[in-house]
Amino acid sequence: MPKMVIETCSVEWLQILDEDGICDEELRPPLSNEEIKKLFESMVLARTFDEKAFKLQREGRLGTYASIYGQEAAQVGSAFALRPADWMFPAFREPGASFVRGLPIHMILQYWAGDERGSQIPEGLNDFPITIPVATQIPIAVGVALAAKVKGDPIAVMAYMGDGATSKGDFHEGLNFAGVFSAPVVFVCQNNQWAISVPLKRQTAAKTLAQKAFAYGFPGIRVDGNDVFAVYRAASEALNRAKAGKGPTLIECLTYRLGDHTTADDASRYRSREEVEQWKTKDPIRRLKKYMEKRNLWSEAYDQAVRSNAKEKVERAVRVEESLPPPDPRDIFGFTFEELTAELKEQMENFLKVDGKERSESKDVLYG
């Protein structure tokens, strides 16, 4: 018997807005002028936060921080497509998405300052906290999506990851499970092309990351991750598909990490200055600004007001975070079980005794 082709796959590339602000209006999603401005303002806020967080870390006021410089469109465009009832699972480089969702800015600062209360998501916000262990949020997101399907909730789940996550077993197990059970989940991979110092070519021999979805029985698409319109359109279509019972989608946002992996990294040791400068020409904020100028949606006065407002919001968040009282040390013991076990009670009692005396003040326990 001759060989036969029984299956083929193809990966679409979607770009709507190019580096010069030239837009394919036929492909542009139906966004109002106010929504376009909101996208711009959200990206400016994300970058303003990023710049401030970097400075705070250098001043010793934050711990290690993971910059989002250059990846604002991938986060803002995708999160903008979510509805309040949908669930969002970040990795650790998604504050832009979190701000679109309504997470208070000071909570991201809390987290990176080492205060775990920054992970205490406000009631009514369907987001999970920051996830540092790479790819571990993926199977959890799939489980939440499957639970929603079983319950008949008309919602979808969005799970973020970096390109490095696609080299982890959690990624493959999560996507396989999602495909088999047709879970209403959208996987957003921010392919910034570096997993710390490991380039994409050392992670996969595949031409794209999007094509990995086909192995698990659902579509994958690669979009220009610096094009906020393309990201929003792809995310909207994938979310609608998921809510219609048609299963998951993998969106690969091709972007670039303009900064170091974290503030504990020196990217100049493994990549060239020329590569970074080339990607700066693809800046997501600048290209949307150029488009808005053509449509008379942008002016110097508007830009100054947007940046001033963003700076004020971030500075206010810094003041809030740094004025918070220290956490109660009892929290170390109080959130594992519904009720403290006898062993944990004993540990807490011993922990709270300093020099044989009971200390009632949290700061005394924490700082002596």
Which residue out of 106, 233, 261, 287 is catalytically annotated?
Answer: 261
Cβ pair 97, 88 in contact under 8 A? yes
Look at residues 315, 314, 326, 317 and name the one whose alpha carbon lies nearest to residue 116.
326
Give yes or no: 83 in active site: no
**Set 106, 233, 257, 287: catalytic member:** 257
Catalytic residue among 270, 295, 316, 319: 270
| Crossing angle of helices 33-58 and 228-243, rounded to 10° | 110
Residue 257 annotated as catalytic: yes
Annotated active-site residue 270? The verdict is yes
Phi, psi of 295, rounded to the nearest 5 degrees = -100, 10
- Contact call for residues 70 and 284 (beta carbons, < 8 A): yes
Q: Which residues are the active-site residues?
A: 257, 261, 270
